[in-house]
Each structure stands twice: as structure tokens, then as C-alpha cells.
Amino acid sequence: MWDELQFALILTVSGLSIGLMYALIALGFVLVYKATDAINFAQGEFVMLAGFVAAIALAGKLGVLGAVAAAVLVMVLFSFALERVVLRPLLGRPIVAVIMATIGLGAMLRGLPPITVGGETRAVTLPIGDTPIEFGPISLPPVQVLGVVVTLLFLAIFTWFFLKSRMGVAMRAVADNQQVAMAMGINVERYFALAWAMAGTVSALGGVIWGSMLGVDVQLSLVGLKVFPVVILGGLDSIVGAVIGGLIVGVVESLAAGYLDPYVGGGTKDFAPYVLMILMLMFKPYGMFGTHRIERV
């Protein structure tokens, strides 16, 4: 009995911590959507790119802080370039166009490593060791604890940013109604760029942490598929929603794998979040915290 309870507790905590790390990736997606209305299907490839930069920087003896800084720098520059070259011309197009553009971008990013730096798996070794940290009956690998801390930190920073700071309020204004924001004297382009830069930073940290957990190679981009159930559950443009959605998805996956899998032979954790997501969509088409879109005919 106690064993079963312990098992459930460990599963839940493990799910919560993984869920927060999903939220870290989802934050990048939500930031971009919230500020610029663009949907980034290539979020996983962003994380992969950041991972590669960090791994190569570490191999080049740059130290952990240097690697993280390098990843952030590359991702920010890349995001600026992306916004300029690809997304600006696609403003106002049907949504399938933007989705396909980022899918195409994702394909390009996946093809680049083997040609340029070689496709073998690299390790991102963080100086925090491998021995799990114990919290009573629960033990978590240090990298997951780091991930939890980073995600919660970002959650706090971004929530404060959007609620209290001038720039945050300006960004929300831009997201709400671009024309009026421009009329109010807000430099829309600058805030677009800022939003992408923030997303790039989050992706960079995500890349370092996930790369450390899974190893960096082209397959790292597959973590991007997890973003969708998370942001749909939480609402496409809600930061808090991303975190809560991530927690829910993490726990659901963990419990499904622990309890359902033995009966059906495995694999339930893959689509359990999606089933939950579809149910959510039928009742709340915009997610838990997403803003309701009003369509005008």
C-alpha cells in the first residue's frame, strides 16, 4: 500500500518536473504568438539549434556561462533574421501559410547540422553532476531540478514584465491592436524584435537544459512536438497557461505511462495528452487561459 502510494507520488513529482521543462519550450512559443501572432512550428528545431551552439561552445572550452551566453546570442540574432526575412512578408496571410513556413524552416534547420558540423550526438555536460538529489522518497536528477528553477524564474520574470513594466505593457498593446499601438507612438517593429529576442533567450536555455538531458543531435528537435498539447491546453497566448498546461501534460504522461501502459502494451503516454487536449478543445476552444477570438464576418 505504502509502496503504491510512493510510486504514485514519485510519478507525479517526476511528471511535474518534466512538465515544467515542457513549459520552458512552450514559453518560447507563447511569447512569439502573444506579441506577434506568428505560430512557430519549428520551436523544437530552435531548441536543437541552441543545443548545438552550446555543445560546440562547450567543446571549444568556453565554459558553461560562455556556452549559455553564446547560445542566447545566436538564438537572438537568428530570431531577428527570421522575423525580417520570413515572417514580415507573410503578415496577413492565411494561417496555413505561416504554419508551413515554419515547418519549412524546421526542415532546413534539421538538414543543416549534418552538412556543416556533423550529425553525431554531442553531450552538454553541466557542472552539476549526475547523482540524483533526494527529497525524501523522491530523487530527481540535478539537471531536472535546474530546469524547474529556470522555468519558475522565467515565469516570475515574464509575469512581472507583462504586468508591471512599461515595455511589457507596450508589448501587450501591440498584440492587442497593432494599428492603435502605432497611433499611440509605440514602435511596433522594435517590440516584435524584442518579443522574438525573448523567445530566443528562452529557447537557448531550453536547448542547454534539454541538450544536457538528452544529448544534442538532430533528433533533439522532436521535443518540439510536445509543445502543442501544452499550449493548446493552456491557451496559445497565455504565459501562465503555458506553465499550467505543461504541468498537466507532464503529470498526465507520467501517470499514463505508469498505470495505463502495462495494460495496453505501451505508448499511451504519447497520445494521452492529445486526447485530453481534444476534450478540452470541445469545451473551451481557446484553451484554459487563452483569449477568445471574435470573428467578424
Partner 1 sequence: MLHRESGVFKTSYAADMALYPLPIARATIAAIVLLFAVVLPLVFDEYYLAIINLVLIAVVGALGLNILVGYTGQISVGHAAFMSVGAYTAANLAVKLGLPFWITLPAGGLMAALIGAIVGIPSLRIKGLYLAIATLAGQLIIEWIINHTPAISGGAQASIEVPRPELFGHQMRTQGQLYFFLLFFAALATLASLNIVRSRIGRAFVAIRDQDIAAEIIGINIYRYKLLSFAISSFYAGVCGVLYTYYLGIANYEQFQIGVSIDYLAMIIIGGLGSILGSILGAIFVTMLPIVLRLLMEPVLSMFYNSGEMSAVISSFRLVLFGGLIIFFLVIEPEGLNRLWRNIRNYFRVWPFSY
Partner 2 sequence: MASKRQWLGVTGLASVLALVAGAAMAQEKELVFGLQCDRTGATQTVGVFLCPGYHDYINLLNSKGGIEGYKIKVLEIDNEYKVPPAMEAHERFKKEGAVLEGLYGTPQTAALNKKLEEDKMLGTSPGFGTAAATDGKRYPYTFPIAASYWSQGAAAVSFAKKQLGGSLKDKKIAYLFYDNPAGKEPLGVLEDLAKSEGFELRTFAVPAPGVEMSAQVLDITGRYRPDFVITHLFGRAPSVSIKELKGKGYPLSKVVAFVWGSSEADIKAAGGFGVAEGYHTIQFAGVGTDFQVIKDINAMYQAQGKPVPKEQEISVLYNRGVMVAAIHAEAARNAIKAKGGAKPTSEDVKNGLESVKGFTLGGMVPPMEVTPEDHEGGGWVQVWTVKGGQLAKDGEWFQAYRDVIKKHLAATN
For partner 2, give the closer residue by CB, 52 or 191.
52
If one counts every other C-beta atom within 10 angstroms of the C-beta of residue 138, the result is 16
CA 100/CA 104 separation, integer angstroms:
6
SS3 label, residue 181 = helix
Do 171 and 195 contact (CB within 8 A), yes or no?
A: yes
Binding flags for partner 1, 10-39, as an x/- string (CB under 8 A): -----------------------------x
Phi, psi torsion values for 270, nearest 5 degrees: -65, -45
Q: Which does 3 bind (CB under 5 to 8 A by kind): partner 2, partner 1, none?
A: partner 2
**With CB cut-offs between 5 and 8 Å by kind, which of partner 2, partner 1, none does residue 135 bind?**
none
Q: For the chain, how big is the Rg over CA atoms in Å?
A: 19
86 binds, among partner 1, partner 2, none (CB under 5 to 8 A by kind): partner 1
Contacts with partner 2, residue ranges (CB under 8 A): 3, 6-7, 10-11, 14-15, 18, 111, 114, 118-121, 123, 125, 130, 132, 139, 141, 213-215, 217-219, 222-223, 253-258, 261-262, 265-267, 269-270
Closest separation between CB of residue 203 and partner 2, Å? 18
Q: Which is nearer to partner 1, 13 or 216 (CB)?
A: 216
Report the partner that residue 99 touches, choosing among partner 2, partner 1, none (CB closer than 5 to 8 A by kind).
Answer: partner 1
190 three-state secondary structure: helix
Q: Which runs of consecutive H residues, i.e. helices, occur in the chain? A: 2-36, 43-59, 63-82, 95-116, 142-164, 166-176, 178-183, 188-214, 227-234, 239-255, 261-264, 268-283
The least distance separating partner 2 from the CB of residue 283, rounded to whole angstroms, comes to: 27
* Residue 160 binding partner 1, by CB under 8 A: no
Nearer to partner 1, 79 or 212 (CB): 79
Q: Which does 261 bind (CB under 5 to 8 A by kind): partner 1, partner 2, none?
A: partner 2
Letters for 91-110 (x = contact with partner 1 by CB under 8 A, - = none) are --xxxxx-xxx-xxxxxxxx
Residue 195, all three cell numbers: 518579443
Q: Which does 6 bind (CB under 5 to 8 A by kind): partner 1, partner 2, none?
A: partner 2
CB of 288 to partner 1, least distance (A): 13
Could you give the CA distance from residue 191 to residue 23 in angstroms, rounded to a whole number?
23
Q: How far apart are CA 273 and CA 54, in angstroms?
A: 30
Q: Could you give the CA distance from residue 48 to residue 64 in angstroms, rounded to a whole number?
A: 17
According to the binding rule CB under 8 A, does residue 262 interact with partner 1? no
Distant-in-sequence, close-in-space partners of 226: CB < 8 Å, separation ≥ 6: 22, 25, 26, 249, 273
* Contact residues for partner 1, defined by CB under 8 A: 39, 86, 89-90, 93-97, 99-101, 103-115, 119, 228-229, 232, 236, 264-268, 270-271, 274-275, 277-278, 281-282, 285-286, 295, 297
